Amino acid sequence: MKIEKIEVIDGIHHVTKRPNIIGRLFGKKTTVERYRTYGKRFHYAPNDKVFYKENGEIVDWVHDPMHEVLNNFDRSF
C-alpha cells in the first residue's frame, strides 16, 4: 500500500493508503487509517512521539514503519 496523503483534522492524523496495481486487481480498496497522539514521548527515543491506532494500540516504534512516517510528517513543518 502506498501512502497517498496525510492530513491532520482536529488532532487526528488521517492517513490515506492506496493499493498498488496488483492489489487493485484483487479487489483491495483505498483505506483511511486514523492515528492520534497525546504529546507523550518514548523513554528511549525522546525525539519520537507516541502514536495510537484507532483501535487503541500503540504504534510500535521499532517494527512498525508508520511510526517513522508519522513522526517525519510532524517534523516536516
Each residue's pLDDT expressed in tens, for the chain with a length of 77 residues: 899 999 999 989 999 999 999 999 999 999 999 999 887 787 677 778 889 999 999 998 888 899 899 989 988 86
CA atoms 61, 34, 53, 47: torsion sign: positive
What's the grid cell of residue 59? 504504534
| Structural domain for 7, as ranges | 2-75
Count structural domains, the chain: 1
Please tell me the distance from the alpha carbon of residue 50 to that of residue 6, in angstroms, as a whole number: 17
pTM of the model: 0.82
Give φ, ψ of 58 to 5 degrees: -80, 140
DSSP letter string over 10-46? TTEEEEEEE--HHHHHTT---EEEEEEEEEEE-SS-T
